[in-house]
Amino acid sequence: MVSLSKFTGLVLVPLCMGLVCCSFPVRTGYDRNIGDYKPVPASETATAQAASKPSETATQEPPTSQKSTSAVPDSAKKPLNSAEKARAAINKKETAKAAAKSTPRGSFESYARQWLGAKYGYAMATKTKTDCSGYVMQVYKGYYGISLDHSASKMYKDSRGKSVSRGSLKEGDLVFFGSLWKIDHVGMYLSGDRFIHASTSKGVMISPMHDKYWSPKYQGARRFR
């Protein structure tokens, strides 16, 4: 007869393992009398919900009156003293001059035409009477801001002027006439192979470069711009 003591250990071990594996932890609040967990009190639920919500006080913006600003009121600006006012006035004048220079005056021809009809006057330079060099001198000063001598021969020799070939002439270039020994007339080149000048017979007028009188006298051109 086999002794039961031999099987006791074998039977008890699986039984214990089954109890361990099938047992469940008992949650706090379980009531064996009702066979279920006790309901959570309403006061505890409200407390938990309040704790989960972010604090409204932390997200609120500070009142408008407490916000800082870097703007300086006009009343706090420091008034200019006499020296600063003088400098400001000078800067204003210089700005106005620069703006005047950059302001378009229209085409060169339209500006030079303002003298059309002016009579010839030796050694004169006005819009009513002028000689050839006086006329060129006025137009260059007014349109380009370039000061030239009141003399055709001196304009021709002026080192600021760049020699220009006959085929490379551009509007505004100075064209000179005379002989190999003397420059005695000056005009200003216009598009279309023309030039505007003050002639002794007709005053300020426009003539073609191939004019039968002026073409043989042509001596060269200078560009000052």
As a whole number of angstroms, the distance between CA 112 and CA 140 comes to 9
Domains of the chain: 108-223 (3.90.1720.10)
CA distance 120 to 127: 10
DSSP letter, residue 38: P
For the cut 90, the answer to whether the pLDDT of residue 183 exceeds it is yes
48, pLDDT greater than 80 = no
**Percent of the chain surpassing pLDDT 90:** 52
Per-residue pLDDT at 29:
60
Residue-wise pLDDT tens digits, 63-92 = 554 544 445 555 455 677 777 777 888 877
Give the torsion sign (CA, 200, 204, 207, 209). Answer: positive
CA 154 to chain centre: 43
pLDDT average, residue stretch 93-121: 79
Write down the H helix ranges in the chain.
5-22, 42-52, 56-59, 82-102, 108-112, 132-143, 152-157
Residue 192 half-sphere exposure toward CB, CA atoms < 13 A: 7
Q: What is the mean pLDDT of residues 119-125?
A: 97
Looking at residue 58, its pLDDT comes to 45
Per-residue pLDDT band for 98 (boundaries 50, 70, 90) equals: low
Question: Average model confidence (pLDDT) for the chain?
Answer: 77
Tally: H helices and E strands in the chain:
7, 10
Which are the catalytic amino acids? 132, 185, 197
Q: What is the structure's pLDDT at 65? A: 47
CA 210 – CA 133 distance, rounded (Å): 21
Number of C-beta neighbours around residue 203 at 10 A = 20
Residue 136 buriedness (CB in 10 A; 0-12 / 13-18 / 19+): buried
Per the document, the length of the chain is 225
17 pLDDT band (50/70/90 cuts)?
Answer: very low
| Per-residue pLDDT, 33 | 62
Predicted local distance difference test score (pLDDT) of residue 92: 77
